[in-house]
Amino acid sequence: MSARPLRVVGHPAPRVDGLEKVTGRARYVTDLVLPGMAHAKVLRSPYAHARVTRVDVARARVRPGVFTALSSADLTWCEPYFGPAFRDRPVLAIDVARHEGEPVAAVAAVDEATAAEALELIDVDYEPLPSAITLEEALGPGAPLVHTGEPLSGHFADLSTLRPQPGTNVCHRFHFERGDTVTALAGADLVVEDTYRFPPVQHVALEPHAVLAAWDETGALTLWASTQNPYSVRVELAKMFGLPLARIRVIVPHLGGGFGSKTYAKLEPLAAALARAAGRPVRLAASVPEAFQTVRRCAARVGTRVGFRRDGTLVAVECAADYDVGAYADIGPRVVQKATYTATGPYRVPHVKLDARAVYTNTTPGGAFRGFGVPQLAWALESLFDVAADRLDRDPVDLRRQNFLAHGEEFAPGDTPIDGKLEESLGRAAEAIGWTRAGAADRGRGVAAMLKASVAPSVSEAIVRLHTDGSVSVLASAVEMGQGTRTVLAQIAAEVLSVPLARVTVVQPDTAVTPYDQTTSSSRSTAMTGRAVQVAAEDVREQLVRVVAEALGVAARDLALEDGAVVAPARRLTYAEVLVLRFGMSGGELIGRGVIAPGRTAAPLGGSTPFWEMAVGAAEVSVDEETGAVRVERYVSVADVGRAINPLLLEGQDEGGVVQGLGHTLLEEMLYADGHLLNGTLLAYRVPRADDAPPALECRFVENADGSGPFGAKGAGEGSLIPVSPAVANALARLTGVRFRDLPLTPERVWRALRARGR
Amino acid sequence: MRIRLAVNGRAQDLEVASHALLLDVLRDVLDLKGAKRSCDTQVCGACTVLVDGLAVSACTYLAVEADGRSVLTVEGLADGESLDPLQRAFLDAGAVQCGFCTSGMLLTARALLRENGAPTRDDVLHYLRGSLCRCTGYRKIVDAVLTAAETAR
């Protein structure tokens, strides 16, 4: 069959779940009700670090309306620890509470009010312990140890090399080097170096974490969970309860935002334990303050040193990064090693030495958050690039262009060659922001670039079913959390099978029904799950063609799919007719299967990234010298996506990424004092509002169909966020002459720096 | 306490606790799940509904305050199968992602257009200060509101 113009892919189709969302009919976990359902509340540690010497739930348990009250002492019938990297996180605190807000006891009752009242009947004795809140406190001599024992390893092969440092708070170290940075830096004409800091920030998905758990009469467990990883949650629960995977069912309704906060098990183990003890379904819905106590982005301190030759050639990068992963590792160790692996950004660097540590502190566990550790490192490297450009008297755009990795060039031995054209993204971003035109005197412009790997190796499977009326079901476990994956998967199936988008239904993820998908994160769904759907749909297409070829006695190459029919030289058979030919009646269905499993490779992290995510950001800013308030007047993001399966949704992803990036750039920081989080509510923690977004915001795409995903697509959605901080700070430096190393660029911080400059 | 109110044009006669929140009554008693609970503090706007045409945060609004009033939720925006111009514009503009803020955004915008049928971009930005969206970056939401205003004129 010859290539033909794309009919569905590449078009800005409105999202397939849009109607249910604008009419209020879309169902999220907390919209679901089961008969007899109980409501849970969690008693949390008020201390950053404390020995828990007594938990007495007896009075709560006998309160009318209470079905169960649990402390860790009650969890003798299950494995009480979980965690994807280390199984270091107790379902309920065991002997020690390691961060403020750690669950210590929990209640399930007839309603939330009764459950909340019952919490007040639980007696807990704490003996406060010295705590380590900051990286400095956790790494200093004689630092209080967050964990004193050796944790059990989690369930990921790529993390089998985790290296905790006994007797310290370092739970993982990552080291990578090639060449000889010492000699290279000694011989460099210019070395720029500095230490940059990135604050702890929270995802603030508008829907906080929620789970509804129910055990059935056969002893099987079903959860409706706001998770980005139903299959990882299933593994955790199977281990916890000693159940076969097949007896655990994780169903994922719509998510009210994810951004990484809903990767890996969070509240699911506790909800499942409560439901088992209560003997009835239990809903556990976190509040916004509880979400702040559940997961956050890993804060970081990044020391980077970059060497250049006089002609601008980058010769060496050294980077030493400490990431604060909080009280439990969650997926922090992978965040640290995967991000640090690409600490050199999208540049050709012959001599590299990278060291990173994942450091426990007595704060909310740090985990995945859009960008997965890369924003912290790009903040340092891309700022230093502009420092170097200044010192070399070079244009920052030219200096980047000179050092970009080329299309097809090796990033590291054994890993995927560079699959995009960075110079094209940079050129378009520079042009759109008017880089070479004179700007207004009160505006500054800055650029920044990024490169990020996707998780590897990983597995996605999909099933496509063609029904007797010619409609199509897509079974895949990529989670719809707003990014539009249901629409994109439907478009891919519709394209391959030549049916209108409206004829395709994407089934909600359900581990009992939809096949394995490793995770909805790492910008991987379009490329990996999408490719699995494409292969599954092609499997159905081949079956259609085979049936008709055999029935009509024509060659398969003379058949084509067109508008829901198989077209032969002299005949046209609708899919309904083809299925009658196949089954001898109007019944049965064609089932196609797609498996994408690239497996392990010789790449440094054990798997080759399925694509490189690459993007460039360009900012134009102004600053109010009286107040220090920075305003991003214009912002341009250009991402190299291979092909935009749905340009409308993709644009929405990247616009959202830019504004989320402006959050940690200008506004957001979780502030701790004496071990207590001061601003863990939306009253005190300011995320961007509509009037904080840049008045002019353009998100554009480079499309050369050079990705490994369906129709040449690559992953997208994280790339636009990552350059925001350095692009804004570079613009601010060019405007004011002041270089910032700490985020966020709050008015106070900027005002003080401008005063110190002496203006 | 006994309250009588109209919800989406339908008369309701309800027995509610004096401390019951409008959000809980809508979601749990009337099974109208479109309004969402998020911040509980009148900051995020996910629970926004209209009471006598004015936008209120149902998470902190007592149900008894709605006695004798008319409440509009997202479920009452469309006229049968015919979508409100705001719903249509949100769909077409790509102003919906996860959807958790969408109900509140739509109703806030509806209140704005009731007050001001020809808002400027700044009017919309100002009005949406009480409605957070973490997905879209807002541009498409603002565009959708302006488009809907034009359509309705």
ipTM score = 0.99
| pLDDT (tens digit per residue) in A672-731 | 999 999 999 999 999 999 999 999 999 999 999 999 999 999 999 999 999 999 999 999
Residue B78: which of A14, A23, A482 has the nearest Cβ?
A: A23
To the nearest whole Å, the CA of B125 is away from the closest chain A CA by 5
- Measure the CA–CA gap between A701 and A669, rounded to whole angstroms: 30
Q: Which of A567, A497, A4, A565 is nearest to A557 (CA)?
A: A567
DSSP for A339-388, please give it.
Answer: HHHTTTTTB--SEEEEEEEEEE-SSSPEE--TTTTHHHHHHHHHHHHHHH
Contact B98 A205 (CB under 8 A): yes
CATH number of A32-129+204-292, picked from 3.90.1170.50, 3.40.50.800, 3.40.50.150, 3.40.630.40: 3.90.1170.50
Residue A134 has pLDDT above 60, yes or no: yes
Contact B41 A681 (CB under 8 A): yes
Q: Does residue B40 sit at the A interface (CB-CB below 8 Å)?
A: yes
Q: Confidence class of residue A163 from pLDDT cuts 50, 70 and 90? A: confident
Q: Which of A306, A321, A297 is nearest to A176 (CA)?
A: A321
pLDDT of residue A165: 84
- Which percentage of chain A shows pLDDT scores above 70? 98
* Long-range contacts, A552-557 (Cβ 8 Å, 24+): A557/A1
Contacts for A443 with CB less than 8 Å, ≥ 6 apart = A620, A621, A622, A633, A735
Contact A288 B39 (CB under 8 A): yes
Residue A588 has pLDDT above 60, yes or no: yes
pLDDT of residue A155: 61
To the nearest whole Å, the CA of A292 is away from the closest chain B CA by 12
pLDDT of residue A159: 59
Q: Does residue B56 sit at the A interface (CB-CB below 8 Å)?
A: no
Helix ranges (DSSP H) in A120-180: 135-139
Q: Are B66 and B89 in a shared domain? A: no
Residue B98: which of A25, A257, A689 has the nearest Cβ?
A: A257
Domain extents for chain A? 18-26+458-596, 32-129+204-292, 296-456+603-758
| pLDDT (tens digit per residue) in A312-343 | 999 999 999 999 999 999 999 999 999 999 99
If one counts every other C-beta atom within 10 angstroms of the C-beta of residue A280, the result is 19
Residue A608 has pLDDT above 50, yes or no: yes
To the nearest whole Å, the CA of A695 is away from the closest chain B CA by 9
Contact B98 A254 (CB under 8 A): yes
Residue B37: which of A30, A659, A683 has the nearest Cβ?
A: A30
Contact A22 B97 (CB under 8 A): no
Cis bond before residue A166 (omega within 30° of 0): no
| pLDDT (tens digit per residue) in A178-200 | 999 999 999 999 999 999 999 99
Contact A648 B94 (CB under 8 A): yes
Provide, as residue numbers in chain A, all residues whose Cβ is less than 8 Å from the Cβ of B125: 690-691
Residue A435 has pLDDT above 90, yes or no: yes
Exposed e or buried b for every residue in A718-739, given b needs 16+ CB within 10 A?
bbbbbbbbbbbbbbbbbbbeeb
Provide, as residue numbers in chain B, all residues whose Cβ is less than 8 Å from the Cβ of A257: 97-98, 100, 134-135
Q: Are B56 and B89 in a shared domain? A: no
Which residue range is the domain that position B121 belongs to? 85-152
Contact B135 A257 (CB under 8 A): yes
Q: Does residue B120 sit at the A interface (CB-CB below 8 Å)?
A: no
pLDDT of residue A521: 97
What's the rounded mean pLDDT across residues A75-100?
Answer: 96
Strands in A471-624 per DSSP E: 472-475, 504-506, 560-562, 565-567, 572-574, 590-596, 612-623
* Domain tally, chain B: 2
| pLDDT (tens digit per residue) in A11-20 | 999 999 999 9
To the nearest whole Å, the CA of A287 is away from the closest chain B CA by 7
Q: Are B109 and B137 in a shared domain? A: yes
Q: Does residue B61 sit at the A interface (CB-CB below 8 Å)?
A: no
If one counts every other C-beta atom within 10 angstroms of the C-beta of residue A139, the result is 18
Provide, as residue numbers in chain B, all residues whose Cβ is less than 8 Å from the Cβ of A255: 98
Mean pLDDT of chain B: 97
Residue A158 has pLDDT above 80, yes or no: no
pLDDT of residue B55: 98
Chain A interface, best mutation among B59, B71, B74, B98, by max A CB count within 10 A = B98
CATH number where B34 lies = 3.10.20.30
Q: Are B8 and B37 in a shared domain? A: yes
pLDDT of residue A1: 43
Q: E strand or H helix at A317, and its extent?
A: strand A314-326
Q: Distance of CA A374 to CAs A155, A172, A616, A648, Å?
A: 23, 17, 14, 26
Provide, as residue numbers in chain A, all residues whose Cβ is less than 8 Å from the Cβ of B17: none
Contact A287 B40 (CB under 8 A): yes
Q: Confidence class of residue A156 from pLDDT cuts 50, 70 and 90? A: low
Provide, as residue numbers in chain A, all residues whose Cβ is less than 8 Å from the Cβ of B94: 12, 14-15, 648-649, 651-652
Residue B99: which of A254, A285, A660 has the nearest Cβ?
A: A254
Q: Are B72 and B89 in a shared domain? A: no
Q: Are B47 and B89 in a shared domain? A: no
Q: Distance of CA A241 to CAs A90, A236, A237, Å?
A: 14, 9, 6
Q: Are B6 and B72 in a shared domain? A: yes
pLDDT of residue B75: 98
Q: Confidence class of residue A162 from pLDDT cuts 50, 70 and 90? A: confident
Instruction: Give yes or no on whether A18-26+458-596 and A296-456+603-758 have one common fold.
Output: yes
Provide, as residue numbers in chain A, all residues whose Cβ is less than 8 Å from the Cβ of B138: 659, 688-690, 693
Residue A655: which of B99, B131, B140 has the nearest Cβ?
A: B140
| pLDDT (tens digit per residue) in A340-355 | 999 999 999 999 999 9
Provide, as residue numbers in chain B, all residues whose Cβ is less than 8 Å from the Cβ of A34: none
Q: Are B95 and B59 in a shared domain? A: no
Q: Does residue B82 sit at the A interface (CB-CB below 8 Å)?
A: no
Q: Are B61 and B119 in a shared domain? A: no
Residue B125: which of A256, A656, A691 has the nearest Cβ?
A: A691
Provide, as residue numbers in chain B, all residues whose Cβ is less than 8 Å from the Cβ of A649: 94
Q: Which of A254, A256, A286, A258 is nearest to A270 (CA)?
A: A286
Distance from chain centroid for Cα A736: 34
To the nearest whole Å, the CA of A482 is away from the closest chain B CA by 3
Chain A interface, best mutation among B82, B97, B102, B147, by max A CB count within 10 A = B97
Chain A interface, best mutation among B32, B126, B135, by max A CB count within 10 A = B135
- Measure the CA–CA gap between A56 and A105, rounded to whole angstroms: 9
Across the strands, what pairs with A174? Answer: A356
Residue A154 has pLDDT above 90, yes or no: no
Nearest CA in chain A to B87: A22
Contacts for A698 with CB less than 8 Å, ≥ 6 apart = A432, A634, A635, A636, A637
Q: Distance of CA A675 to CAs A53, A326, A670, Å?
A: 20, 12, 12
Q: Confidence class of residue A2 from pLDDT cuts 50, 70 and 90? A: very low
Chain B interface, best mutation among A33, A112, A206, by max B CB count within 10 A = A206
pLDDT of residue A151: 67
Q: Are B21 and B61 in a shared domain? A: yes
Q: What is the pTM of this model?
A: 0.98
pLDDT of residue A166: 85
DSSP for A588-645, please give it.
Answer: --EEEEEEE-----SSTTSS--S-EEEEEEEEEEEE-TTT--EEEEEEEEEEE-S--S
Domain A296-456+603-758's class?
Answer: alpha beta
Q: Does residue B19 sit at the A interface (CB-CB below 8 Å)?
A: no
Contact B135 A690 (CB under 8 A): no
Q: Which of A268, A278, A107, A113 is nearest to B28 (CA)?
A: A113
Provide, as residue numbers in chain B, all residues whose Cβ is less than 8 Å from the Cβ of A21: 96, 99, 102
To the nearest whole Å, the CA of A648 is away from the closest chain B CA by 6
Q: Confidence class of residue A149 from pLDDT cuts 50, 70 and 90? A: confident
Query: Which residue do the tokens 């479920």 mark?
Result: B75
To the nearest whole Å, the CA of B94 is away from the closest chain A CA by 6
What's the rounded mean pLDDT across residues A84-104?
Answer: 96
Helix ranges (DSSP H) in B78-153: 85-93, 102-115, 121-127, 139-152
Q: Are B37 and B13 in a shared domain? A: yes
Nearest CA in chain A to B76: A23
pLDDT of residue A4: 76
What's the rounded mean pLDDT across residues A475-483?
Answer: 98
Quickly name the fold that domain A18-26+458-596 has: Aldehyde Oxidoreductase; domain 4 (3.30.365)
Which backbone phi and psi does A318 adopt, to 5 degrees? -115, 140
Q: Confidence class of residue B153 from pLDDT cuts 50, 70 and 90? A: confident
Mean pLDDT of chain A: 96
Contact B41 A481 (CB under 8 A): no
Chain A to chain B Cβ contacts (< 8 Å): 165
Residue B34 has pLDDT above 60, yes or no: yes
Residue A754 has pLDDT above 60, yes or no: yes
Strands in A205-313 per DSSP E: 210-215, 221-225, 248-251, 282-285, 296-297, 299-308
Query: Strand, coil or helix: what is A129?
Result: coil
Distance from chain centroid for Cα A26: 23
